[in-house]
Every structure is written in C-alpha cells, then in structure tokens.
Structure 1
Amino acid sequence: MQKIVILTGAGISAESGLGTFRDAGGLWARHAIEDVATPEGFARDPGLVHGFYNARRKQAATAQPNPAHKALARLQRDWPAEVVIVTQNVDGLHEAGGARGVLHMHGTLAGALCAACGHRWPAPDEMAPGHPCPACDAPEARPDVVWFGEMPYFMDDIYDHLAGAGLFAAIGTSGQVYPAAAFVQDARAAGARTVELNLEPSELSHGFDDVRTGPAGRVVPAWVDDLLAGL
C-alpha cells in the first residue's frame, strides 16, 4: 500500500477561525510581513513582534480542530501504510484533531527559542523583549517560528518522505511560499500521484494530477472517505 505525504497550509485552519495571510481585517492585514515575520523586523522592534505573536498565540489557544483536521487524523489511523502530515501552520490543530508525528516546518506558536544558545521550551502566554532563556539566562527569547528568510525545519526528513511517497496531497496552500511550493514537483519526480484540495485553484494547480476545490471542512473529509473506501 502506498505511503501518503500531505502538506497543509493556512486554508485548512481558516474554518477554525485562524486567518490566512490574505484575510482582510485579520492580524496579518494590520502588519507588514517584513515588520513581524522577519529576523530584521525582530531586531528593529522586538516588542512589536512579541505582541503580534502573543496575539496569535492567544487566538490559536481558543481555536478548535475542524472536520478537515479530524479527517486527516482518521486517515492516519485507518490507512494501512504511513501517512505523513507536513504543515506550514504554526497552530496545534492537527494534534488537537488527533494527528500524530506532525512535521511543523515553520515551527509552532506553542514554542519559545533562545536566539543565543538554541534551547527550546514551551512558550508562556505572553513573551516580551528581554525574556530570559531558562537554559543559559540570556535575554534572547523569541517565538519558535520560522520567519521569512530563515530555513524551515525538518527539510531533510520532508525530502526523504517525498521521495518515498506514492500519493502527495497539498491542502489549503497558496503555492506562493517556497520551498513548500516545490514539493509537488519533488513528489511527481519521485513518481507520486498528486492532488490539490483548496478553496479555489492555486497558482500551481496545473502541476497536480487532480484538483478538488471547496471549503476544507467539506472537501478533505470527502477525499479521505474516497481513499478509505478504495481499500
């Protein structure tokens, strides 16, 4: 039975109340990305960046997994081969929905990182400039999220999974952020079938074997039902 590798983006969490980059009126709409999601922005104004991620952390803490998250957890449980979930999202909704071993390539809101020694620990609800590292006491705490210009996490593992995939799915992704936008090409090169599930076709839809559009809470459970019905 074929291994499935799934990439998820902000679109899978939108129905749980967590906005995407492009949502009008959301957290991202009120800030320039270069001010709150780059190392340079953090160096210029750490208070602004911490405030932004404190707000995102608070918002994520109240969100609940939707049917799409739960459907992928069901696929992991019932599919007879390995199902690997790679997410660009920094929320914990996949895990809350029952998924296991999720690879958070952009880090997590629930984590804190010491910029001085690299130590990681659970983030408090509120972080501020000068927050000390519990390991080395340096006042260099930052959110454990990958900002633009930084290397995503788990890339070696992700490429290994893509090389062994029989089926690759991209769910709720814009197809505009690399290296994740190139995963479909990597999977196809390895011989995998590919499917995109999105609210509307992305810029990369032409590169998929199958494209299904609609709200994630509807199309993802239906896709999972189809896969499991074919066992």
Structure 2
Amino acid sequence: MRDKIIIFSGAGLSASSGISTFRDSDGLWENHNIDEICSAGCLDWNYNATINFYNQRRVDIKDKLPNNAHKMIARLKDKYPDKIEVITQNVDDLLEKANCKDVIHLHGFLKELRCMACDEIFHIGYEIQDNSNSICNKCASKLRPNIVFFGEAAPMYEKLYSLLEKCDLLVIIGTSGNVIDVNYLSHFANYSILNNLEPSSIIYEENFEKIYYEDANTAYKKIEEDIENYIMKREND
C-alpha cells in the first residue's frame, strides 16, 4: 500500500543555516581535494588528514541552528509520525536540533564514529577525534568518521528503496541530483514536489507536480501547506 510521505533533503536544506558543502566555492571544503579526504580508500593512505578534516566539520556544526525548513519537517514528523519518513543526504544534526525524530541519514552522521573492522558505532558528539578516542573498545581496531565516502557502499540505501516502494507523496528539498537521481526517485511516488534554489540541468521538471525555486527557509510554508492539504485530501478520498 502506498501511504508514506517521504521528505527527502540535501544540502540546500541546511544552506540558510550556514552549513557549507563540497559544491560551494568557499567554506570548509575550499583548498581540499575531495579524492584525498572523502573517497573510498583515503583512510588507508591519508588517515590523519581525513580525520582532521572531519574534526573541522564537527566543530563547524556545533553552533549552527536549524532554520524554518528543519523546524517545519520536525513539526510534520511529530504530527504524523507513522505517515511521514524523513530521509536526508546531510550529515549534520540540524534536523535533530529541531527535535525531528527518526531521521534516516543516508550518508552517515558527523556526530558518530564507526569501527573500521567490526562496524560498531560510537557517539562522539562535537568532540575532536584524536588518539584518546580512536580505538574501538570492542575489537581494538581504528575508528573512522561514520560518513559514507564516494565509492563506498551506503547501507541505508536499502532502507530508502524499501520506503520508496510505499511512497504516495515525495517531497524533494535542496538537492542538485548529482549524487542521487531524483528523477528516478520521483517515479516511485504518486505525487512529487521539488524545492531547489534554482533549476538543475539534470533534474527534469516534468517529473514533478509542483516546483518551488527558492530557499527552503522561505518555501517551507508552502511545502507544509501542500503536505497538510495532501494528507487531508487522502483522508477524505
């Protein structure tokens, strides 16, 4: 039965909160080669530099605050906990800071470390990863940021596609479509809404019933109203 509403977000959701991405021309990713700090295998030959980079990113998110769009998603998830699924490509914690429950992070979470051998997860919060907390207390292997690097398997994708099979309404917020093909995702849903800052050459508008080209921090009211109206309509059908 297709009865799920999926809110799927990317970096554009957090842009107004000051979280930079590797597609920005400035910020934390500037002067870093992505292949050296965010690609499969980089921990084998560039461990310290990679760890230091994610230490910087963890510090960067500590004082960042959720914007209107994060709060809107949290409100809807709280109001319709069994109907709405929140799935994000973002590794920040702004949805959690907005008190959003059960967020699915497709590409990992900055506030966690993962054992490189046994995959045990450790919560590090905003701490710096250093010699004092880089060894797994279960198997004594090295820990790494719990982030999915380019070229690595993404375990949560299985969860994503399982939920898409039940998707009635799909809401895409703030993603260019370069990492995950949102055109493909839209085909799972009966109705799709897109919110991006501007058009993307690889996202086809005909796949979406509604499109808002503006910051998620200002589009949130329209999106919230759309979702509420859609739920009401379905309940009255």
- TM-score in terms of structure 1 length: 0.90
Distance 2:45 2:15 in 1: 30
* Contact 2:6–2:167 under 8 Å retained in 1: yes
Task: Give the 5 Å matches for 1:45-60.
Answer: 45-60=46-61
* Counterpart contact for 1:104–1:153, Cα < 8 Å: no
Partner of 2:196: 198
Give the aligned partner of residue 235 of structure 2: none
Q: 1:80 to 1:97 in 2, by over 3 A?
A: closer
Which secondary structure does the structure 2 equivalent of 1:144 belong to?
strand
Contact 2:78/2:101 (8 A) holds in 1: no
Deviations along 1:74-111, one digit per CA (max 9) or x if unpaired, are 12223486110111001111111121111111010000
Residue 118 of structure 1, CA deviation: 1.4
3-state secondary structure, aligned to 2:181: helix
In the comparison of the two structures, how many residue pairs are matched?
226
Q: Is the 8 A contact 2:116 2:144 kept in 1?
A: yes
Structure 2 residue matching 1:174: 3-state secondary structure: coil
User: SS of the counterpart of 1:136?
Assistant: coil
The 2-side partners of 1:92 and 1:81 are apart by: 22
1:135 aligns with one of 124, 135, 138: 138
Alignment of 1:70-109 (within 5 A): 70-79=71-80, 82-109=83-110
Mapped partners of 2:12, 2:18: distance in 1: 10
SS of the counterpart of 1:132?
coil
C-alpha contact (below 8 Å) 2:170/2:189 kept by paired residues = no
1:70-219 matches, within 5 Å, as 70-79=71-80, 82-123=83-124, 125-128=127-130, 131-138=134-141, 140-177=142-179, 180-182=180-182, 184-188=183-187, 190-202=188-200, 203-206=202-205, 207-219=207-219
SS of the residue aligned with 1:23? coil
Structure 2 portions without partners, runs of 5+:
233-237
Mind listing any 5+ residue stretches in structure 1 that lack a counterpart?
none
Change (3 A) 1:81 1:150: same
8 Å Cα contact 1:163/1:187 also seen in 2: no
C-alpha contact 1:166 1:191 (8 A) present in aligned 2: yes
User: For 2:87 and 2:155, how far apart are their aligned partners in 1?
Assistant: 10
Q: Secondary structure of 1:201's match? A: coil
Instruction: Give the conservation status (yes or no) of the 8 Å contact 1:41–1:49.
Output: yes
2:38 is aligned to 37
Work out the CA distance in 2 between the residues paired with 1:40 and 1:227.
41
Residue 191 of structure 1, CA deviation: 4.4
Taking the aligned partners of 2:209 and 2:168, their CA distance within structure 1 comes to 13
- 1:221 maps to what in 2? 221
1:191-215 C-alpha deviation (Å, 9 max, x unpaired): 4211110111222142323211101
Q: Using the TM superposition, give the Cα deviation of residue 226 of structure 1 relative to its aligned residue in structure 2, in angstroms.
A: 3.4
